[in-house]
Amino acid sequence: MATSQRSKKKGSDAQDPNLRTRSATSVTGRPDDHISAGEPTAINQPSLSLIGWARWIWRQLTSMRTALLLLLFLAAAAIPGSLYPQRTADPNGVTTFFQSNPTLAPVLDKFQLFDVYSSAWFSAIYILLFTSLIGCVLPRVAVHYKALMSPPAATPSNLARMPAFQTAKAGAKKRARALDAAFAQLKSQGYRVVRTEDSVAAERGYWRETGNLLFHISLVGVLISVGFGGAYSYSGQRVLVEGDTFVNNLAGYDSFSPGIAFSQNQLTAFSATLNRFDVTYDLKNKTNLGTPLDFAAHVSLRERGASKAKDTVIRVNEPAEIPGAKVYLTGNGYAPVITIHDGKGKIAFSGPVEFLPQDANMTSLGVIKVPDAKPQQFGILSFFYPTAAQLKSKAYTSVYPAPASPLITMNVYEGNLGLDSGIPSNAFSLAVHGLKQLTGGKTNVESIKLRLGESANLPNGLGTVSFDSLRRYAALDVDYNPGQGWVLFFALLSLAGLIMSLVIPRRRVWVKVDQGGIQVAALARGDDPLLERVVTELVTKLNQKPEKTEDEN
């Protein structure tokens, strides 16, 4: 029921006698089940030969229905990636998930649910989809090229069956003029027109199909650029404390993830020194007090061969650009400078310690491991409060993110830190299991408290610790992806094709004269809001007095 209504209103090609009499694929280049192809024919059964089967499978794969189903499968297949943490986007989330769901997680992992977008099943869907797309589009390119080269389809015999159709009474004189007038009018409106003895056939909107093909082909361009860009890309992270310098080589990174085709000599030679890291807080607005308004990393960049370093400011949304890489600001925090003398009085640790922010007021957590301390190894689990305040419970908290009244508290753990075992350990966590806690918590010994410039004795004769100065650090990301410009190029090309294909009307118009008068009919491919009006306007024009047309000539 809906079919007949729609095709009547919208003027689908189903009614086009020129298209209906022949096999649809050969005429339009579109799949058999495209709406323009009319009712299904008997060719849907595969013949039993191998080639017959292959052809049948290929036809199924390149049908509209398959494309549609694959699109919907792709949408559905993308959902789990938003439900479970993904290794690429959120590696810590995956670790946490494994810890809290020890039985479920390995099962999910078997089904690649933590790597959805590189999983076998997700890849299978989009590879099939794009195979279908190429198989679908290439024949259409050939057919469209032929259509561009040939004149509009001849006037069908029965115009009354067209979705837009009007007649006008006309005497012999008017009839004689009508075809010339229609020819001129349609030509001036950008139609391709052919004239025969008793009719004019016109067609416009070839750009609609061109746009559609451009859209689909550009999607292939997007996919290829994504793949090639990903293969040669790299992304490296480095935390840089004020005053420190980073040199762009593999050893300079805290973590590094290369694409599969990455090679080390892609790393352009440059170095970056973090001179200063500034945070601007809102001090004006009560509801907003202490909200950071701006982060600015003042950096000196020195490229290979450059005699002088260049000073730049890197902000969120404003990366520094170096040929072959961009340097982004992705995080920041405090790095108190700590010195520890061990029980023998020797310096066992000295330098800035990067603390991880835990809340909006920059309460931060830091870990210090002192494996070389004599007589005993120990580790420190430590909190930093830029503006410390004491709660009723005696616990400390930070009430403001800027360092107005900085305080460090420390819990000391004695015992083997396990750093010699060869298992890589996380610099930001201390495995307290098997260690003996000496301060804080249930030990009945108060945590060590240090204000800026203070020092304190460690318990059990482990030595002394001092909080010498306070610096900030910036977390920087160095990224390179040679494909992204191409991705953008093809995405925009595809968008242009899409717009062309959706807004340019493709329509055919016919004018025919016979004894009864003038007949005008039009047929659109796809949606065409103006179809009726085009016919009405043409009829009005043909009904007009002839002077006008003569003037124009």
Q: State how far the Cα of 538 lies from the Cα of 553, in Å rounded to an integer.
A: 18
Site size toward other proteins, by CB under 8 A: 75
Residue the block writes with tokens 């890489």:
325
The binder of 292, among ligand HEM, other proteins, none, by C-beta within 5 to 8 A per type, is other proteins
Q: Residue type at 246? A: F
How many other CB atoms sit within 10 Å of the CB of residue 92? 8
Residue 34 touching ligand HEM (CB under 6 A): yes
69 binds ligand HEM (CB under 6 A): no
* Lookup result for tokens 């794969």: 61
Of 240, 257, 262, the C-alpha closest to 89 is 257
**CA–CA dist 222, 488 (Å, integer):** 8
Quote the CA–CA distance of 351 and 545 in Å, as a whole number. Answer: 96
Q: How far apart are CA 406 and CA 342, in angstroms?
A: 25
3-state secondary structure 381-432: EEEEECEEEECCCCCEEECCCCCCECEEEEEEEECCCCHHHCCCCCCCCCCC
Residues 326 to 385 in contact with other proteins, rule: CB under 8 A:
326, 328, 330
Site for ligand HEM in 504-543 (CB under 6 A): 526
204 binds, among ligand HEM, other proteins, none (CB under 5 to 8 A by kind): none
Residue 212 in the binding site for ligand HEM (CB under 6 A): yes
- Gap between the Cα atoms of 181 and 431, Å rounded: 90
Q: What mask, x for binding other proteins by CB under 8 A, covers residues 140 to 179? A: ----------------------------------------
Q: Which is nearer to ligand HEM, 65 or 533 (CB)?
A: 65
Residue 369's SS3 state is strand
Which of 530, 532, 507, 3 minimizes the C-alpha distance to 209?
Answer: 507
Q: Give CA–CA dist 125/77, Å, rounded.
A: 9
Question: Which has the closest alpha carbon to 514: 164, 208, 25, 178?
Answer: 178
Contacting ligand HEM within 100-139 (CB under 6 A): 129, 132-133, 136
Question: Binder to other proteins among 29, 34, 182, 366 (CB under 8 A)?
Answer: 34
> What is the rounded CA–CA span in Å between residue 436 and residue 378?
9
What minimum distance in Å lies between the beta carbon of 263 and other proteins?
20
Which of the ranges 64-72, 176-184, 370-378, 444-452 carries the binding residues for other proteins, by CB under 8 A?
Answer: 64-72
Distance of CA 551 to the CA centre of its chain: 58
Residue 30 makes contact with ligand HEM by CB under 6 A: yes
Q: How far is the CB of 11 from ligand HEM (least distance, A)?
A: 12
Residues 425-454 that bind ligand HEM (CB under 6 A): none
Residue 216, binding choice from ligand HEM, other proteins, none, Cβ under 5 to 8 Å by partner class: ligand HEM
Q: Cβ closer to other proteins: 63 or 363? A: 63
Least Cβ distance, residue 16 to ligand HEM (angstroms):
13
If binding is defined by CB under 6 A, does position 456 make contact with ligand HEM? no
Closest CB to other proteins among 34 and 175?
Answer: 34
Using the rule CB under 8 A, is 285 a contact of other proteins? yes
- Give the per-residue contact string, 452-491, with other proteins (x = CB under 8 A; - = no): -------------------------x-x-x--x--xx--x
529 binds, among ligand HEM, other proteins, none (CB under 5 to 8 A by kind): other proteins
The C-alpha atoms of residue 517 and residue 529 are separated, in whole angstroms, by 27
